[in-house]
Structures are given as structure tokens and as C-alpha cells.
Structure 1
Amino acid sequence: MAACASLLAMSAVTMAVPANAQGRLDAKYEASLAGLPIGKGAWIVDIAEDQYSAAVSGATTGLMKSIGGGNGTGTSQGRIVAGQFAPLNYISTVHYGKKAETIRIALAGGNVKDSAIEPSPPENPDRIPVTDAHRRSVLDPMTGSLLRAAGTGDLLSPESCRKTMPVFDGRMRYDLRFEFKRMDTVKAEKGYRGPALVCAVYFTPIAGYVPDRVSIKYVAAQRDMEIWFAPIAGTRVLAPFRITIPTPLGTGMIEATEFISVQKTAKTN
């Protein structure tokens, strides 16, 4: 679901970053529902001059763990081409009870070359099929949650929010549309404290879903979901610091408790 050491973060926001700047984010998050803790996770993002990688892990806690615990991991790697992310590989594994599911996606030039779900899910005739056209010009879910701002202007500007992320998660093709909402401030227990770019986020399912499914309808109808973005030091990249999603049981939230990023020195010959 971004942190910086305070001085480095402020520098990343207010000054142009050299083309060969690099940065790394180490963040830890807690998830809650109606104020009750339900999960914890960690996210590492490594940004180089022409490539990037991200790794996430998480597990249920508290009441959710006692009801039926689960945990998962995910990784994404890709290149940075013309200032934008170009994912190459994505792997996600989720364990729930005694079962597990692994999703693998291979991409090239923004298009899905291959994808698989193990074990194969049962066929559902009501599911809108994903076509080859739906697998073109897409991002994986992890890459789709990062904002990369072009140019050398203010990183935390309204323009950084105004993006639509076409995402394929191995099962479903959907759009995440971001719109600027406001500026705010955040403070992690460890790491970043400073300004955050608050974006409204709108979910639009495209294919690979069952239209009558209540959860899909509910999320697609929401107009109050928000993602608070903070900078990864030394880069033109913003990562989620806080995510809020209204639910019938209360507000769901994922928030960084640690958001530590550092600018790395580019290697030279």
C-alpha cells in the first residue's frame, strides 16, 4: 500500500532531482477496520536510474487472525522507460487456512506475455472474459499503486494525482483513476513526517469479474476512497502512506507506522 527521512523528503519535494538519482523505501503498515487492528505488512521499493523492484509481505492479526488467519507475499520488477514504469514480472502468493494461491504475470512493453493462477480457479460462466486486448498497455497491481511524476517540477502537485492506472492482476482487468483532493500532513512513528498528496481513487472493473458480485458493485460505487502519497527520497516517485476505504462495517485503513526512504548514490564507471 511513503516515507522519507525528513530532510531528504523535503529536498525531494522542493528541488529538481538529477536524472541518475536513486532511492529506496522501507515501510511498515498496519491495517484496521472501524478502528480495530486486522493486519500488518511491510513494503520495500527500490528505484534505480533505469529499473525498479518492489516486495511486499503481510498477515492478518487480532480478530481476523483468530477467525481465519492468512498471509501473503508479492514481488514486482521492471524497467523505467521514458520516465515511466514498464513492469516485467509480478508474483503474488496468498495463504488462507490450508490453501494457497499463486499468481504469476510476465510482461513486455506494457503487454502481458503470459499469466497463470495456481491452482487454476473454477470456471464461472458469469465472469466477463479477459481478452487479449484487455492484456495490452497494463500495469501489475504493485506498480499501479506507485505514482511517478514526469519533469522537474513540484513532486507533490495536483498534477501528480491526475492519472489513470490500467491494472491487470492475473484475474481481473480494472482501472484505478486518481484525482487531486487536497494537501495534508502525515507523521510516521519512524521516518517520514511532512506533506502528503491526498488523491481520490475510483475503481472501474473492466473484465475478469462477475457483474452481480456485491463486493465489486460496492467498491465501484465508492466516491470516498483516498490514498495519501508521500515521496521516496531522491526520486520522482510517490508511494502510498495511508489508504482509506469506507465499508459497511466501518472505515478500512492501511497506514504506515514506519516510512523510511533514503537517496542512493548512482554508480559511475
Structure 2
Amino acid sequence: MTPATRRRTSLAAVVLLMCCFATGTSAQPIGAMKVDTVYDISFNGLSIGDFQLNTNMGTRDYSMTAKANISVLGGMVFEWKATTRSSGTVTAGGPRPSAYSFAYQTSDKKEQIDLKFTSNTVSQITLNPPRGSSSKRIPITQTHLQNVLDPLSAVVQLSQARTQKQKSSACDKRLQIFDGKARYDLVFSSKGTKQLDESGYKGVAYVCRVKYVPIAGHKAGKKDDENELAAANDNIEIWMIPVPDADIFIPYYISVPTSVGKATMTASKFDLTLPSQVKKSVIN
């Protein structure tokens, strides 16, 4: 494996953490709710940054803003900053996104993605800079843009725990996602439970296996393509913990092992403001 491939592999692991897993809130119209979450990002046991997410849930709509900062040796080796936003409406069947944006920058590169949705179908895609064409890339068709969620809205769906079935099956889900460049599914299945007693939380965590299934937009058969690397990884985990007062699950710990090390995100803060305006710290 070349140094360039190792860098792509490690960065892909961290990006997969942030773009695919961020705390959401229940998709039921239950009243205004606010969630503020902070995750510590580590690679091979070394802290390299943080991921902050602010979610505002109204009675009929939601908005989410996430910011990530990654720095190795004070930015001398590597620095990566990203901002993600999503907004939409809340229905009994789940979130319906209306707009999504993702922007990142490094010392020598930056990119902006903007999506518009109509009835869970992508109606507008803006990439800056435009994506280059490739005959090796699986084409994205209009069918791929239907009945999909953006990465942040997808986790609003993931976190629901309103019904008894949802409460008892935190890991039994399949999310259909389009992020502006790739169409993929995230398939969750149970690996059991763990008992936690740390960071202010004492109780059960549901351990889910996460399988990344590329659908379109990736270069099939290209071994160092980020989507192919993620698809070949059978050891991605996410630990979900319940918040009964809000009828939601929240991701506590996310792990993405790679051939060059393990990327993890661990919740260090989770503050929840309920519709009654009561503030609750689940993790602190």
C-alpha cells in the first residue's frame, strides 16, 4: 500500500464517521427540541479533532448544523475542516429533507456540495468544483435520486425510538442515502449489547454492525476508491444508547477499522432540551 493510499484510507475512515453518523432526534412531531452534541475523533488512539452537532427540532420541521475539525501536529502534517447542514420537515413516517450542504477544506483543496430535495427526491445537485467524468464510475440515474435521504437526515431516521418495535430493535434498519456524489445504503444489524458506566451515562448500549453498500457514483473495482474500501469493511460498529425521555437513540461510540489503523468517534457531551424546556445532560 502506497503512502497516498494510506492517507486516502485513513481520511476515508474519518469522513465515513462524520458523514454517516451524527446524532439526530425523533422524527415524530412532539414539540420543540434542541440537541447539542460533541464527539472526540481519534485515530489509532490519538485525538485528532472533534465533531460538533447542533439540532433544532420544531413541531413540523428540523435543522441541523455539524462542524468537524481535524488536525495532526497542529496542522503541520494535516488539517481538515468541514461544515454540514441539513433542513427539512418532520412526518410520522420519518424526515423529509429539503436542503443539504457539505463543505470542506484542507491546506490545498476545498469542495462544496449543495442538494435540494422535493418529496424525498433530489431535485438539484450543485458541486463546486464540478466533478470530473470517468468511464469507470457507476452512473447515477434519476432512479438513484428517488426516496433517499442526505447523511444527516438519515440519522434522524436512525435515531427513532417511538414505537415498541423501534425501542427493541435499535440496529434493525437500512438507510438509503445520497450525499451529492455517491448513492449508497447503510445496513445495520445487531451484534449484541454492552453495559456502560462512563461519561455520566450508566446503562445499556446496543452494538450495531454497519455495512456500507455502494449503489452508484463510485468506481467499481478500484481498490483504493473510498467507497470500495468502505464496502469491503465488515467491522464498522456503532453503539446506540437510549434516551427514554425523548424517545430516541443516540450514537455513543463509532468505530471504523482500516488496514492502517482505527478511526473512532466517542460522545463527550450530549445536552438535550425537551419541549418542556427542561435541559438534560445525558453525557458530560
TM-score of the aligned structures, taking structure 2 as reference length: 0.80
Runs of 5+ consecutive residues of structure 1 not aligned to the other structure: 4-11, 13-17
Give a deviation string over 1:34-56, Cα, whole Å, max 9, x none: 11122212011222332222110
Q: Which amino acid aligns with 2:103?
A: T
The answer to whether 1:99 aligns with 2:133 is no
Which letter does structure 1 place at the counterpart of 2:67? S
Report Cα offsets for 1:101-143 as digits up to 9, x if no partner: 1100111211001111111122222111100000000000111
2:143 aligned with 1:133: yes
- Where relative contact order (Cα < 8 A, 6+ residues apart) is larger, the structure is 1
On the 8 A contact 2:37/2:52 being kept in 1, the answer is: yes
Instruction: Assess if the C-alpha contact under 8 Å between 2:170 and 2:240 holds in 1.
Output: no
Alignment partner of 1:173 is 2:180 = no
Structure 2 CA distance for partners of 1:104 and 1:229, relative to 1, 3 Å: same
Of 60, 69, 72, the residue aligned with 1:59 is 69
Equivalences, count? 251
3-state SS of 2:75 partner: helix
**Cα gap change, 1:151/1:241 in structure 2, threshold over 3 Å: closer, same or farther?**
closer
Q: Distance in 1 between matches of 2:271 and 2:197?
A: 11
Deviation at 1:2, TM superposition (A): 8.2
Cα distance, 1:232–1:46 mapped onto 2, change above 3 Å: farther
* 1:234, distance to aligned residue in structure 2 (A): 4.4
What's the offset of the Cα at 1:70?
1.3
2:41 and 2:263 in contact (8 A); partners too = yes
Identity %: 28
TM score, norm. by length of structure 1: 0.84
Do the aligned partners of residues 139 and 232 (structure 1) sit closer, same or farther apart at CA in structure 2, a change above 3 Å counting?
farther
Q: 1:232 to 1:105 in 2, by over 3 A?
A: farther
2:193/2:204 contact within 8 Å kept: yes
Q: For 2:77, what is the secondary structure of its paired residue?
A: helix
Bigger mean CA offset, 115-124 vs 134-143 = 115-124
Stretches of structure 2 that go unaligned for 5 or more consecutive residues are 1-20, 278-284
Alignment pair present for 1:28 and 2:28: no
Change (3 A) 1:186 1:44: farther
The answer for the alignment partner of 1:117 in structure 2 is 127
Read off the aligned partner of 2:63 and give its amino acid letter: S
- 1:242 paired residue number: 253
Call closer, same or farther: CA 1:192–1:42 in 2, change over 3 Å.
farther
The 3 A distance-change label for structure 1 pair 36 and 211 is same
Q: Tell me, in whole angstroms, the C-alpha distance in 2 between the residues paired with 1:43 and 1:152.
A: 25
Indicate conservation of the 8 Å contact 1:27/1:256, yes or no: yes
Computed over aligned residues only, the root mean square deviation of the Cα atoms, in angstroms, reads 2.5
| Pair 1:203 & 2:203 matched | no
Distance 1:168 1:121 in 2: 15
SS at match of 1:142: helix
Q: By how many angstroms is 1:249 displaced? A: 1.6
Secondary structure of residue in 2 paired with 1:143: helix
